[in-house]
A and B are shown apart, each in its own frame.
Chain A
Amino acid sequence: MGDPTFLKIRDLIYRISGIYHAEEKLYLLVGRCGRRMTALGVASPAEYLEHLTTRGNRDAELRLLLNEITIGETYMFRHPAQLDALRNVILPQILQVKGLVSLKRLRFWCAGCSTGEEPYTLAMFLLEEKDKLLSGWTFDILATDLNDNSLETARAGIYGEYALRSTSEALRRKYFTDVGDKKLQANAIVKAPIRFDRVNLRDDSKMLFQKGIDIIFCCNVLIYFDLASKRRVVQHFYSNLLPGGYLFLGSAESLFQVDDSFRLVHFPGTTAYWKPTAAQASGGKK
């Protein structure tokens, strides 16, 4: 690891994407840079830093490095701490607020759902809570992405072992059908609550249209946006959410100096951004 250039690369990645690596975990970044350096035929970290900062291909290279950094992030039940926070704190809190005033309906949005692992995870989680926490409530999940190929894969819902590595046998049996070739396909029950759609988060007119959302997941998507676009998207998210709603980002993503409308909340093992209701905002703590 030794080479201090990697710290510069770490800081650059943080400044541009909001993704941060602790010094003790720098070896992860070193490995990922190593793969890009091999692909480019670059010998030293200093030369690679030039590719990321001053060379003509820097935007493309940065994107490729960010892809390396987030690779392997997409499998089902990747972030159990987020689901625990939903079950233990967030949903009870939202149900309490909404139960008093509106229809017993919850809306979730996976913004940048890629090949669909996240919305299917969420659908399984919510279906499992249907007769418990969510008894008497209905829910739907909007799952959007910019990439048509990813959406195609997500709609088909056919996954191999990697995507299902953290999905229990019981859930596999309940929500998937064996389609041979060591693959499982999501069945109608788990597909029913999800609506896949193509949405460009940079498209203001479409963003304005999404309303009444309770919880947004947008993991490792904003990292590819420049600061101005990131601010815009986050502001949209803020208005898309109902008061009392939450935004989840990727586990190493920070909105520091991007937005101060949301309030950062730490839950065991995860963090989320909160849009409190007027009463909650004046009451301080949840």
Chain B
Amino acid sequence: MNAQQRSQLQAQIDKMDSVSTAPAILTPLLELLRLPSDQIKLEKVVELVSYDSSIAGQCLRLANSPLFGRRQTETVRAAVMALGLEKLRSMMFGLCMNGIIPRDKWVIAPEVFWRHSLGCALVTQRMAKKIEYPEPEKAYLAGLLHDLGFLVNSVLFTDKFRECLQTASEQHLSLHVVEEQILGFSHCETGGMLGEHWGLSKELVDAARCHHNVSLLPTAGPLACLVHLSDLLCRVRYLGYGYDEIMGVELDSDAAWQALVGTYPALESMDLVRFTIDIDGAMDQIVATVDSVFGRGIAAPAS
């Protein structure tokens, strides 16, 4: 992509807010996502949830679902407490993003996208903890936001992006490779641009921009490396983009792994098989949460 194409693309992304409606709670929510769980104030969350009626309704619906013991939860506060902060903030973020993409523009099934994003958030956070990276919450956010470019490509390049996904799926290829061929850029670039437009930190923008670009990784910082590895791991544990990729991945020979080991030697003593089994265990929860947000198997709350 040359400089002119890049600036045209950035202009389109900057105008995205008027094409679609970013919910008002997005910015405070991003702030909230940056904090460690124990520093989040319950009242603040209740306020945020109450601000948006569709999100408040979803919270009540989820808190009243069988997944949470089908309680008789009638207030936002009770729903927030029943769900717990971890699930809640993931869910809120997912709902916010759903607001950004108009229903007819989703090129990938939204639940597939959220399973991958939340899976990657969780894996990035867990890996960050394992290697003693000082800000595991930031790692969670980096994982959650790494595919922001999907939203951009879905909204701005709907037909071509659909063609990319179809080609990748039919030929069992990695999506970013096909995007480069068809669009001339991948969701990495557009995700980085949207991140900049939203005012995300450089580290988070880099993580979105470089998570497939191995050559940029060693200089892109530890978050980008963590996200790259987590993304690979999710894709080989059935939390990819809903199609079978043909791949064999040697995580501990990867450039991102090598770049991290120097600064975080704890990585070397990580049992990757054990880590993978741990991730598999947690994935069931992710799938259940996402499915419940998208209404699968959830009964409507008692009226």
Contacts and interface: CB of A to CB of B under 8 A. Distances in A.
Interface string A11-34: 000100000111111000000000
Given A254-B273, A266-B233, A268-B245, A22 B280 contact: yes
A14 B273 contact: no
Interface in B263-284: 271-274, 276-282, 284
How many interface residues does chain B have, given as a range? 20 to 34
A267 B277 contact: no
Top 8 A-B residue pairs of the complex, sorted by shortest distance between their CB atoms:
A22-B281, A24-B281, A254-B273, A256-B271, A266-B236, A88-B246, A89-B248, A266-B249
Interface of B: 172, 232-233, 235-238, 244-254, 271-274, 276-282, 284-285
A14 B276 contact: no
A201 B237 CA distance: 32
B250 A263 contact: yes
B248 A286 contact: yes
A15 to B, nearest CB: 11
B238 A268 contact: yes
B237 A20 contact: no
The binding surface of chain A is classed by DSSP as mixed
B237 A269 contact: yes
Contacts, number: 84
Contacts of B232: 266
11 contacts: A20-B271, A24-B285, A254-B271, A254-B273, A256-B272, A256-B273, A266-B249, A266-B251, A267-B247, A271-B276, A286-B250
A20 B277 CA distance: 7
A257 B272 CA distance: 11
A84 B246 CA distance: 9
A266 B230 CA distance: 12
A265 B273 contact: no
A264 interface: yes
Given A14-B274, A88-B246, A265-B250, 11 more contacts: A22-B277, A22-B280, A24-B282, A254-B273, A264-B250, A265-B248, A267-B248, A268-B236, A268-B244, A269-B237, A286-B248
A271 B251 CA distance: 11
Interface in A256-277: 256-257, 263-269, 271, 274
Nearest to A272: B248
Contacts of A21: 277
Contacts of A255: 273
B126 to A, nearest CB: 11
Residue picked from B247, B252, B272, B285, most chain A C-beta under 10 Å: B247
A31 to B, nearest CB: 15
Interface of A: 14, 20-25, 84-85, 88-90, 252-257, 263-269, 271, 274, 284-286
A88 B243 CA distance: 14
Given A88-B172, A267-B236, A286-B248, A256 B253 contact: no
B252 A264 contact: yes
Given A88-B172, A89-B246, A269-B238, A264 B280 contact: no
Nearest to B278: A22
A254 B248 contact: no
Contacts of B235: 268
Contacts of B273: 20, 253-256, 264, 271
A56 B288 CA distance: 44
Contact of B248 (A20, A256, A266): A266
A237 B19 CA distance: 60
Residue picked from B233, B252, B273, B274, most chain A C-beta under 10 Å: B273
A271 B271 CA distance: 13
Given A89-B248, A264-B251, A286-B250, A269 B278 contact: no
Contacts of A22: 277-282
A59 B246 CA distance: 42
Contacts of B237: 268-269
Nearest to A252: B277
Contacts of B249: 265-267
A105 B278 CA distance: 38
Contacts of B246: 88-89
Residue picked from B247, B248, B278, B281, most chain A C-beta under 10 Å: B248
A254 B274 contact: yes
A285 B236 CA distance: 16
Contacts of B247: 89, 267-268
A268 B242 CA distance: 12
A285 B250 contact: yes
Contact of B253 (A23, A84, A85, A284): A284
Contacts of B245: 268
Contacts of A14: 274
Contacts of B285: 24
A274 B249 CA distance: 11
A20 B272 CA distance: 12
Contacts of A85: 248
A103 B172 CA distance: 30
Nearest to B214: A285
A256 B276 contact: no
A91 to B, nearest CB: 12
A202 B173 CA distance: 43
